[in-house]
Amino acid sequence: MAETADAIIVGGGLAGLVAAAELADAGRRVVVVEQEGGNSLGGQAFWSLGGLFFVDSPEQRRMRIRDSRDLALQDWMGSAQFDRPEDFWPRKVAEAFVDFAAGGMRPWLHAQGMRWFPVVGWAERGGGHAHGHGNSVPRFHVTWGTGPGVLAPFIRRVQEHAGQGRIALKFRHRVSRLVKSGGAVVGVAGEVLEPSDVLRGQPSSRNVVGDFELQAGAVLVCSGGIGGDLELVRKSWPRGRLGEPPRFMVAGVPPHVDGRMIGVAQQAGAAVINGDRMWHYTEGLRNWDPIWPNHGIRILPGPSSLWFDARGERLPAPCLPGLDTLATLKHILATGYDHSWFVLTQKIIEKEFALSGSEQNPDLTSGSWLKVLKSRRGAGAPPPVEAFKRNGEDFVVATTLPELVAGMNRLAAAPPIDHDRLKAQIEARDRELDNPFCKDAQVIAIRGARNYLGDRLIRTAKPHKILDPASGPLIAVRLNILTRKTLGGIHTDLDGRVLDTVGEPITGLYAAGEAAGFGGGGYHGYNALEGTFLGGCIFSGRNAGRHGASNL
């Protein structure tokens, strides 16, 4: 006989934990199945910087940021650019999420003990039009404790319910089939994998030691996206929109993030939409101390690094640091090469470079003000950044420009960078600093960024000439394409109910998190505003858990 429960959740990441906690709070008996081991509880959220998208928050108001629900919705819709009939539910989920982010989200999380760094980050600033892509104001709220801090209240709630017998956690259980009866999903079946004690993120064994079947009134698919399967990423790549996929990419997530359950749900009749919409970064580094194979880390750049393509040509606006990710991705790939370059100074790296991820920000992850001040306000760049500069294979450090160019050409021989051409472009930009007015879009953006108190304090270096020896040494960074997020996914309504190919709910089946495109089958549309991945997992997991609990 198959084991029974009220609800089964496939995936122990953030969305699954939120849904499990909501179901158990309502008195339902829940089983969480997860193909990885117990030390992987929390999934990809663990590795994140912990950024959350809030609107008109106390943190914003203290930083003199005027935000509103209407401005946030304008930014979201200008970024999403919904243009397909199947975008009906993604649009509805997006509208509801903005309402949540401007209303009950922060108080609900605050009541559970979550807190945020007081300086709000200004991510993904957009392509230049008020009605287009990008955040008009800073909205990126870094959680104290980073990703683990986001997970903490939900892990606590789940473990409390587990101790009381309402939640069972079944690790090393891999679902390969949704069980159906009379058109309804009534359970899951799959394989039990041999125990594994590898560290979180490292590849685990796929040796099968048994099988299992579970039955329940509701099944919630919360299993993540496809970013760890580079071939599947290439297969799904929107060639007509972004060009040919990169021949070389670094992986921003572990290999078990393979989209397996999206296909399993599709075999059970679920519609999958917007599979060509994805979010990959252009500022990827090869991790000098990798956790998983081909491990990539993203630079979170301030606005001042000069960005050149592989041929040594400066990127045009809006392809500037921190402005428009997909426009920059398209431009880089159009060159026929997969990499690009930052050229900067020691002054810039000290003030502007941050690295994405909880493990690359131990000060913020610790939640200690003393450690943050020591790391961020001390001499030099933050220690993790200095470690990459010292050990990372993508960094070149030199005293003079000829030495820098020689190092760049040793690192990436094809195509060769022409010293004189690079120098002419840098000198042209440097001349623009001789006046308080200029025509260089990046210099204008730097000056605009420093109008924001948060950027002036900790994220934007004082404008200076790149070739001024007093600001050196010079630094070049080879940037790679970094896989990350799936923006499309399983088609759902606002309550997380999975829809079939004609748009009707499949009885008993829900989806949330990245597997559902963070809600609706792609509530970001074509572009993300950042802080909306963790927020989408929380929002969609909460909706699915609450609706499932009320209908069992």
Cβ-count burial 10-42 (b if 16+ within 10 Å, e if not): bbbbbbbbbbbbbbbebebbbbbbbbbbeebbb
The answer to whether 211 and 179 have CB atoms below 8 angstroms apart is: no
Global pTM reads 0.97
pLDDT mean over 203-224? 97
- Give the total residue count for the chain: 552
Question: In 3D, which of 316, 287, 300, 285 has the Cα closest to residue 476?
Answer: 285
Is residue 348 classed exposed, middle or buried when 0-12, 13-18 and 19+ CB atoms within 10 A define those classes? buried
SS (H, E, C) 136-151: CCCCEEEECCHHHHHH
Structure tokens at 393: 């294979």
Phi and psi torsions of 108, nearest 5°: -65, -45
**Domain chopping of the chain, boundaries:** 3-224+487-550, 283-482
The per-residue pLDDT for range 342-398, each reduced to its tens digit, is: 999 999 999 999 999 999 999 899 888 888 878 777 677 889 999 999 999 999 999
The per-residue pLDDT for range 221-260, each reduced to its tens digit, is: 999 999 999 999 999 999 999 999 999 999 999 999 999 9
Residues in CB range of 32: below 8 A, 6 or more apart:
8, 9, 11, 12, 16, 17, 20, 158, 167, 168, 169, 170
Structure tokens at 494: 């606002």
- What is the structure's pLDDT at 128? 85
DSSP string, 360-403: T-HHHHHT-HHHHHHHHSSSSS-HHHHHHHHH-TTEEEESSHHH
The superfamily in CATH containing domain 3-224+487-550 is FAD/NAD(P)-binding domain (3.50.50.60)
Is residue 70 classed exposed, middle or buried when 0-12, 13-18 and 19+ CB atoms within 10 A define those classes? exposed
CA distance 265 to 178: 7
- What is the structure's pLDDT at 378? 67
CA distance 163 to 41: 16
SS (H, E, C) 213-241: EEEEEEEEECCCCCCCCHHHHHHHCCHHH
Specify the higher pLDDT residue, 211 or 379: 211
pLDDT confidence bin for 111, thresholds 50/70/90? very high
DSSP string, 289-301: S-SSTTBEEEEE-
